[in-house]
A = this chain, B = another copy of it.
Amino acid sequence: MTDWTDPDALDLSDGETFDSLLDRADTREKGHFFEFFAEGDELAHDPGLRLSHHGSEQWMGQTLNHDPAYWRADTAQERGFEERPVHPDYLLACVMGITVEDLSEKGGYFLGRDDVEFHQPATAGTPLSVTSTVVDTRTSSSRPKYGIVTWETEGRDRETGETLVSYRRTNMIPRREPAATDGGAVGEQDEGGPAMPDTLLSPDGERFGDFQAALDTAREENAAVAYRHERGRTMDDQLVAGLPLSTLNTARQHHNRDEMADSPSGDIVAYGDVTRSIALAHARSDEATYREQRFADERFHDFVTLGDTVYGFTRVLDCDPDAGPERAGAVTFEHVAFNQEQTPVYSGRRTAHIQRHQ
């Protein structure tokens, strides 16, 4: 009887032998199918990550987020941070990345995110602990092979237990068994084209007062405060595969071109938060950001693949002079990322504190 532990028993360098072995061998699976998730489930995500400056600087550098408060200690102090924090986009990506193995590694599309709240600044050296709760599972009427799951996730400082960031995320998740369909598309509400504003205004400057003045003018003139940003960043390997993996996001659609060749996108697709971070960087480069606050109703409208270039468009929705510290006011924006064919790929509502004129 052959001893199959004998190294020479199987010549794995021989193509035929290896092919037949592969066909018969089990695959140790990753991630979970839709059927695994039930409302109320709590998951503590094991993969660990320590927030670092080089991680933050890599994320910020490649997405053009160059706000000096996150690059230099003196500006951080001037901005009221005790210590130079890591960038909120990077923090969010690290927390999301850690959840992917348990929640969405099986594949399926990142449909959207809501109630993103930054509770306190996060600093380099902080080890993260992340937990998620299943808040909703439902069938997808348009895609029988998928179900839709929503989770609430909290990212905490593992040592102090303090919450750093929390949010709700919705993904399409492949089903083990496709469901009977009841027709009708999910999420493609077709409410017919809206009326268009007569004029589009852009603020004169980058301070809170400039956004407020533009909004006041717009109200009188049936106008919208809406404008584009000049920069555009083309998606390359570092952005599509590199950044998700550096935040432990193991979703295959970002790094396995072999598998993605026969997926709807035809190639690896960018991680939604990278596309988002680029559009936000363009917007932030045209404002005097004080601090990030929250995001709502974030949606991903289309795939972004290698070679696509991401631009930014912003509409100002609200100015609240009373929220935030003396030196800043809260502005709520709608930010849209769009590609070289002017196709919207991400949209979200962001509230940030913007510095006033000195």
- Flag whether A208 is at the interface (Cβ < 8 A): no
Dominant secondary structure of chain A at its interface with chain B: mixed
- Flag whether A246 is at the interface (Cβ < 8 A): yes
Q: Is the CB of B248 within 8 A of A66?
A: yes
Given contacts A47-B68, A232-B259, whether A5 and B215 have CB atoms under 8 Å apart is yes
Chain B, Cβ-Cβ closest to A50: B72
Q: How many chain A residues touch the partner (CB < 8 A)?
A: 114
Please encode chain A, from 234 to 258, with 1 for each CB lying within 8 Å of some chain B CB and 0 for all others: 1011100110011110101001111
- Flag whether A32 is at the interface (Cβ < 8 A): no
Q: Is the CB of B257 within 8 A of A307?
A: yes
Q: Which of A52-60, A113-121, A141-149, A171-179 contacts B (4 or more CB under 8 A)?
A: A52-60
Chain B residue numbers with a CB within 8 Å of A18 are 313, 336, 338, 342-344
Q: Is the CB of A29 within 8 A of B230?
A: yes
Q: Is the CB of B231 within 8 A of A256?
A: yes
Q: Is the CB of A61 within 8 A of B258?
A: no
Q: Is the CB of B245 within 8 A of A62?
A: yes
Q: Is the CB of B230 within 8 A of A13?
A: no
Give the B-binding residues of A (Cβ under 8 A): 1-7, 9-22, 24-30, 46-50, 52-55, 57-58, 61-62, 64, 66, 68, 71-75, 101, 127, 158, 191, 193-197, 200, 202, 215, 218-219, 222-234, 236-238, 241-242, 245-248, 250, 252, 255-259, 268, 285-286, 297, 299, 301, 307, 309, 313, 315-318, 334, 336, 338, 340, 342-344, 347, 349
